[in-house]
Amino acid sequence: MNPTTGTSVEPAGAPRPARRAVLRTVFTAVVIAGTGGALAPVLLQGHGSTERIQERDAVGPERFSELYKGREIKGTATSVVAAGARPDAGEAGAVAAAPGIDVRVDGRPLHVMERADGSYLSAVNHYESFPTLLETARAAVDDLGTAQLSSLSPHTI
C-alpha cells in the first residue's frame, strides 16, 4: 500500500484473477455440491433395494400358502428357463431366466407383475408396489374386501 495516496500498489506483471473467473469458479462449486446433495438419497436408496433383492434370491423361490382375513392365498415365484437353453453353453449361449409368478386368492388367479427393481404389483393394486409376493397378495385381499376375482384371466393367448 502506498502510504501517501492510500492506494494499493501491485508489482507490474503479477497475474491477478479476474473477478468474473472467481465468481464462475464459486458458482460451479455450488452447483456441483447441490447436485451431489440432491442425488445422494436416490443413489443410496437404489443400493439398499439391490441388497433386499439379493437376500430374497439367496433364500430361493418364494412360496406361501395362508389364510388371510378369511381368504386363502397361495403363491409361488420360480425361474422359468427357455426350452433348448443349455446350462453348459457358458455366457455365449446363456439365456436369461424369466420369472414364473402364480398367485391365487381363493383359487382364482391374481395377475401379478414384477417390476424392474424386483418389487411386485398386482392388477388389483397397480399403483403401489410391494417387496414380496405375500405382501402383494395381502394388499390385494385388503382392497378386494368381500369381492371375488374373476375366474377367467383377461390376458389369455
Specify the higher pLDDT residue, 98 or 43: 43
Q: How confident is the model at residue 18 (pLDDT cuts 50, 70, 90)?
A: confident
Please write the tens of the pLDDT for every residue from 72-123: 998 887 766 666 666 555 555 455 555 678 888 888 888 888 888 888 888 8
Mean pLDDT calculated for residue range 40-58: 58
Q: Taking Cα atoms as reference points, which of 26, 89, 90, 103 lies closest to residue 61?
A: 103
Mean pLDDT in the chain?
A: 75
Q: How many CB atoms lie within 10 A of CB 122?
A: 21
Q: Is residue 144 over pLDDT 70?
A: yes
Please, are residues 76 and 104 in contact by the beta-carbon 8 Å criterion? no
Q: If you search the block for the grid coordinates 500498489, which residue do you land on?
A: 9
- How much is the pTM? 0.51
